Copies of this chain bind each other. A is one copy, B any other.
Amino acid sequence: MNVELKKIDEVSGAGGEKYQRILDAAVEVIAERGYFNSPVSAIAKRAGVADGTIYLYFKSKDDVLRTAIDSTFEKFYRKVVDAFVTLDAPREQLEYIAQVHLESHSVNRSMAVLMQTEMRQSAKFIEEFSHHHLVKYIQMVREVVRRGQEQGIFRKDISDGVVAHCMFGAIDELLSSAVFTGREYDARNTASQVIDVLLNGIAAGK
């Protein structure tokens, strides 16, 4: 894996930002038309390269999509990990995750569309994704929840796994709904609402 990342860097070194151009073009085109309705030729055209050139940088059409998703998730993961260095409180950590997750919409709208659609197009793909990326997300949240439980901030009679899935699912659905309806929202504010529900529930107080 490290090896592969290094190679990428080398390639994109010189004038080889063709690699990145192809990735971006793929995300855009696929977001607009769907994976199976996006011929490699359309991606190549958008990237401004010849069809065959794509195969100099990627093994297959599938590989382009996979790489784009992997790299997006990698960025998400790194951003969260970096912030955690100076962000200690479980509550704030959850809110930060929610916020970054929801921000993905505005950072790269095409990518957000793609993650809500193409990423889920086949059980096979999901199984892969579930194991590689989602699991990492869930782990992250579970650890935060467990730390909160240990600190007495969060209830101990609740499964951290269930909480983690609920949180991911809730945010993902809000994001998804915004993507499909074209609605805009304020990531910070929405994150705060979700965390409010998650922490305090909707039952009328006391």
Contacts and interface: CB of A to CB of B under 8 A. Distances in A.
A166 B153 contact: no
A123 B37 contact: yes
Interface size class of A (residues with CB under 8 A): 35 or more
B34 A163 contact: no
Given A117-B122, A121-B118, A172-B169, A155 B34 contact: no
A130 interface: yes
A5 interface: no
A189 B152 CA distance: 25
Interface stretch (A15-23, A47-55, A70-78, A192-200): A192-200
A36 to B, nearest CB: 4
A118 B119 CA distance: 10
A116 B120 contact: yes
A60 B172 CA distance: 32
A169 B180 contact: no
Given A127-B180, A130-B177, A162-B197, A154 B121 contact: no
9 contacts: A31-B122, A34-B124, A35-B122, A37-B123, A113-B122, A114-B122, A117-B122, A158-B197, A169-B173
